[in-house]
Amino acid sequence: MEAHRISSTKPVQSLKPTKKIPLEEDTGKASDALPLPLYLTNALFFTLFFSVVYFLLSRWREKIRTSTPLHVVTFSEIIAILSFFASFIYLLGFFGIDFVQSLVFQPSPDVWIAEEEDDEVLLAKEEARKVPCGQALDCSLPPLPPAAPIVTVQKVFDEKPVTVLTEEDEEIIKSVVAGTTPSYSLESKLGDCKRAAAIRREALQRLTGKSLSGLPLDGFDYESILGQCCEMPVGYVQIPVGIAGPLLVNGREYSVPMATTEGCLVASTNRGCKAIHLSGGATSVLLKDGMTRAPCVRFGTAKRAADLKLYLEDPDNFETLSVVFNRSSRFGRLQGIKCAIAGKNLYIRFTCSTGDAMGMNMVSKGVQNVLDFLQTDFPDMDVIGISGNYCSDKKPAAVNWIEGRGKSVVCEATIKGDVVRKVLKTSVESLVELNMLKNLTGSAMAGALGGFNAHASNIVAAIYIATGQDPAQNVESSHCITMMEAVNDGKDLHISVTMPSIEVGTVGGGTQLASQSACLNLLGVKGASKETPGANSRTLATIVASAVLAGELSLMSAISAGQLVRSHMKYNRSSKDVSKAT
């Protein structure tokens, strides 16, 4: 059988089964304790073994001839016996294991076993192939034949488990490249998400002529994202997670996970956490908790649009509408409806609580129920779209800044004067002045919308990525006004951040993925709160705001002390020659 060795950077090449790849030991050292080349130690112990065997046998023969008892041994015989055991143990250890293995595991003559492949990994892969991907699979499609014995190896990343592509895979790769098998259908056709990703990746490399080496494929559970988090995967991007903290907020300490590639960010937030901690901690208060969705509906006249607006905003109709809305979920509870008219078009902004979910799906389902219900009394209502941008999701919009979206939080701390001096290396006075001129006046001059802060989005984005939030919602989740004031006769600093639209959840979306779930677990807010639905996501929002407070404190201090450029040069402009990094 012909075999292929596929590298992630090169097209597939035919390779004949070749002689055994030299084991690392063949050219390595015997051990740290015996730093000789292996061939020398092997020769040494071989010689020793046969020499002492010869010596002991000749001594034995001599004793028999002279009728000397066998247990009477001379010093040289003791040395010879010890050398015999030492060399025997060495040779057994070195060659014995391979010999036993070769007896137990008889290689199939037509299989090219990859030396680098770990047996357990191979077994796991074979097992995984038998398991269907889950409910999103299209079971009507006949599954492709199971993978044949392993004939090829793709070494994707470092020394870690490698992806195995089979001859059947090779045929599928060719058909994806030729366009006869759609890339998106691989998961449902194969019933193996990992294999689908490996095949798609190889096909993509061939189609584009570009290498994906460096983008890892192995070490990720592709089943967990199927039909939920990402389509047509070819690998995953690695983002380091740093920890800032302990962050003391509302009397509890949190270690805050931040996924970022921006040098300085975690260190700076960590410094802010320290200043807060030394000053007695922060207080974070949740003001509002309601996700929004605003469909756009159109009528023949502005009068009819106004009729619906009046109907929806009439308190007498709220109960009926909420019963209809709340049917969508155990957790979605309608809180209010706010309408905006543009001529004949009506934008209806529904707000509802969503338990521990960020809630976009939940609120959309409730809205759909209400629209279906309204169609009876307003048959002339034309639903233009379930989202009419008055929600407003993932776009900077005053409606979120003013009305709030998701969780609205205010967080404060009073930082002691000596902490400002010793930890933050600045003064209360210069911080207050900088905040006024930068975060308030400067942002006003720039016509900012919710951007009255130094870098809230830095902290929000890093925590969102680490904890499986929707990073696109960073747009409005980072709306923040940072206030600073000298208190206690000008000795101490009062700092607050007010963030009206933090959109977070601890169930649904990316929160259930292994890495993200681990980060939520670290914060003690993983999954649904058993005692009070919604408590976990609300706590997460207060942590986000408090971490932003820490980030604001530290960056503002660095700017006021003139440290910003210096520290960025230190942490962001590493002098390390990355091309030589191992």
Catalytically annotated residues = 262, 394, 470, 568
Q: Which helix (H) or strand (E) holds 475?
A: helix 474-477
Binding mask 427-446 for ligand ADP (x = CB under 6 A): --------------------
Radius of gyration of the chain (CA): 34
Binding mask 383-402 for ligand ADP (x = CB under 6 A): --------------------
User: Considering only CA atoms, which of 562, 411, 536 is closest in space to residue 468?
Assistant: 536
Asked if residue 362 binds ligand ADP (CB under 6 A), the reply is yes
Interface with ligand ADP by CB under 6 A: which range of 202-210, 357-365, 397-405, 561-569? 357-365
* Shortest separation between residue 357's beta carbon and ligand ADP, angstroms: 4
Asked if residue 355 binds ligand ADP (CB under 6 A), the reply is yes
Q: Binder to ligand ADP among 509, 519, 544, 552 (CB under 6 A)?
A: 509
Binding mask 199-238 for ligand ADP (x = CB under 6 A): ----------------------------------------
Asked if residue 356 binds ligand ADP (CB under 6 A), the reply is yes
Asked if residue 366 binds ligand ADP (CB under 6 A), the reply is no
The half-sphere exposure of 301 on its side-chain side, counting CA atoms within 13 A, is 3
What is the C-alpha to C-alpha distance for residues 521 and 540, in angstroms, rounded to an integer? 11
Asked if residue 329 binds ligand ADP (CB under 6 A), the reply is yes
Q: Binder to ligand ADP among 185, 213, 345, 361 (CB under 6 A)?
A: 361
User: Considering only CA atoms, which of 234, 184, 214, 314 is closest in space to residue 7?
Assistant: 214
Query: Which tokens in the block code for residue 212?
Result: 């994906």
Contact predicate 170/3, CB 8 Å: no
* Shortest separation between residue 355's beta carbon and ligand ADP, angstroms: 2
Compute φ and ψ for 425, nearest 5 degrees.
Answer: 55, 40
Q: Binder to ligand ADP among 111, 144, 267, 528 (CB under 6 A)?
A: 528
Query: Can you spell out the DSSP letters for 426-463?
Result: S-HHHHHHHIIIIIIIIHHHTT-SSEESSSHHHHHHHH
Asked if residue 543 binds ligand ADP (CB under 6 A), the reply is no
* C-alpha separations of 116 from 113, 153, 164 in Å: 9, 9, 11
Q: Binder to ligand ADP among 197, 275, 352, 360 (CB under 6 A)?
A: 360
For ligand ADP, the closer CB: 248 or 543: 543
Give how many residues touch ligand ADP by CB under 6 A.
Answer: 19
Residues facing residue 296 across a β-bridge: 347, 385
DSSP 507: B
Asked if residue 128 binds ligand ADP (CB under 6 A), the reply is no
* Shortest separation between residue 543's beta carbon and ligand ADP, angstroms: 18
Asked if residue 513 binds ligand ADP (CB under 6 A), the reply is no
Asked if residue 191 binds ligand ADP (CB under 6 A), the reply is no
Binding mask 469-508 for ligand ADP (x = CB under 6 A): ------------------------------------x-xx
What is the C-alpha to C-alpha distance for residues 153 and 166, in angstroms, rounded to an integer? 8
Asked if residue 161 binds ligand ADP (CB under 6 A), the reply is no
Burial degree of 405 (CB within 10 A; 0-12, 13-18, 19+):
buried
What is the C-alpha to C-alpha distance for residues 147 and 166, in angstroms, rounded to an integer? 6
Contact predicate 273/246, CB 8 Å: yes
Cβ contacts of residue 437 below 8 Å, gap of 6+? Answer: none
For ligand ADP, the closer CB: 297 or 358: 358
What is the C-alpha to C-alpha distance for residues 212 and 214, in angstroms, rounded to an integer? 6
Contact predicate 73/63, CB 8 Å: no
In angstroms, how far is CA 358 from the centroid of its own chain?
Answer: 18
Compute φ and ψ for 397, nearest 5 degrees.
Answer: -150, 135
Asked if residue 525 binds ligand ADP (CB under 6 A), the reply is no
In three-state secondary structure terms, 244 is strand
* Shortest separation between residue 230's beta carbon and ligand ADP, angstroms: 15
For ligand ADP, the closer CB: 331 or 347: 331
Q: Binder to ligand ADP among 357, 415, 502, 545 (CB under 6 A)?
A: 357
For ligand ADP, the closer CB: 482 or 517: 517
For ligand ADP, the closer CB: 497 or 544: 544
Query: Which tokens in the block code for residue 302?
Result: 């502005």
For ligand ADP, the closer CB: 281 or 468: 468
What is the C-alpha to C-alpha distance for residues 225 and 509, in angstroms, rounded to an integer? 9
For ligand ADP, the closer CB: 233 or 505: 505
For ligand ADP, the closer CB: 359 or 451: 359
Determine if residue 140 is left, alpha or beta; phi over 0 gives left, psi from -120 to 50 gives alpha, anything else beta. alpha
Query: Can you spell out the DSSP letters for 254-273?
Result: EEEEEE---TTHHHHHHHHH
* Shortest separation between residue 121's beta carbon and ligand ADP, angstroms: 32
Interface with ligand ADP by CB under 6 A: which range of 118-126, 211-219, 359-367, 385-393? 359-367
Cβ contacts of residue 419 below 8 Å, gap of 6+? Answer: 275, 278, 279
Asked if residue 134 binds ligand ADP (CB under 6 A), the reply is no
Contact predicate 467/539, CB 8 Å: no
For ligand ADP, the closer CB: 177 or 535: 535
Asked if residue 535 binds ligand ADP (CB under 6 A), the reply is no
Q: Which helix (H) or strand (E) holds 175?
A: helix 167-178
* Shortest separation between residue 354's beta carbon and ligand ADP, angstroms: 6
For ligand ADP, the closer CB: 357 or 465: 357
Interface with ligand ADP by CB under 6 A: which range of 98-106, 318-326, 328-336, 544-552? 328-336
For ligand ADP, the closer CB: 32 or 531: 531
Query: Which tokens in the block code for residue 313?
Result: 């905003």
Identify residues 22-61 at the interface with ligand ADP (CB under 6 A): none
Give the footprint of ligand ADP on this chain (CB under 6 A). 329-331, 354-362, 505, 507-509, 528-529, 533
